[in-house]
Amino acid sequence: MDTAKQVTKSGELNEFSMVLLNNTLSLALGLLLIFVFNEVDYLSQTPLLRLPTFWLVMTFSGFLGLAISFTSMWFLHHTRATTYSLVGSLNKIPLSVAGIFLFKATSLENSASIFFVLDASSCCQEEHLIVSNFMMIFRFRGCCL
């Protein structure tokens, strides 16, 4: 990200530039995986690509992904990385609850794994907040580490 800011004229990246950079960087990995797993042969033979409904759903999915990417970059641009990380770790709670109700995942193993992920996420976030607050105190007092 720092290199991208250096090569721009203004030195800053707006939301559109961040989304464009993010999607461009992900294309290389996507193309690599297509060729590694030999998806080219499958795509050339599948009748699914000839259905207009498929292209309509894929186009809608692409626009939805672009909208999610824009909102994520907008949020990151207008808040601190700590807030972005906190929201990212807290959004797992409603997703887990929704997954339990939608997929009826009420076994002991599923509940334990969900609890473990939520606990690890909150512990990691708590540690990150403690370190961030510690660093802010030292910057506020003019100290350096």
Q: What is the pLDDT of residue 10?
A: 65
Least confident of 40-44, 74-78, 140-144: 140-144
The answer to whether 89 and 118 are in contact (CB under 8 A) is: no
With a CB cutoff of 8 Å and minimum separation 6, the contacts of 16 are 70
List C-alpha distances in Å: 44 to 31, 32, 54, 78, 108. 15, 17, 15, 43, 44
Is residue 145 very low, low, confident or very high in pLDDT (cuts 50, 70, 90)?
very low
Give residue-wise pLDDT tens across range 105-133: 677 777 777 777 777 766 665 565 565 55
This prediction's pTM: 0.53
As a whole number, the mean pLDDT across the chain is 75
Q: Could you tell me the maximum CA-CA distance found in the chain, to the nearest angstrom?
A: 66
What burial class does residue 99 get, using C-beta atoms within 10 Å of its C-beta: 0-12 exposed, 13-18 middle, 19+ buried? middle
132: tokens are 């961030």
Do 16 and 69 meet the contact criterion of CB atoms below 8 Å apart? no
29 and 88 Cβ atoms separated by less than 8 Å: no
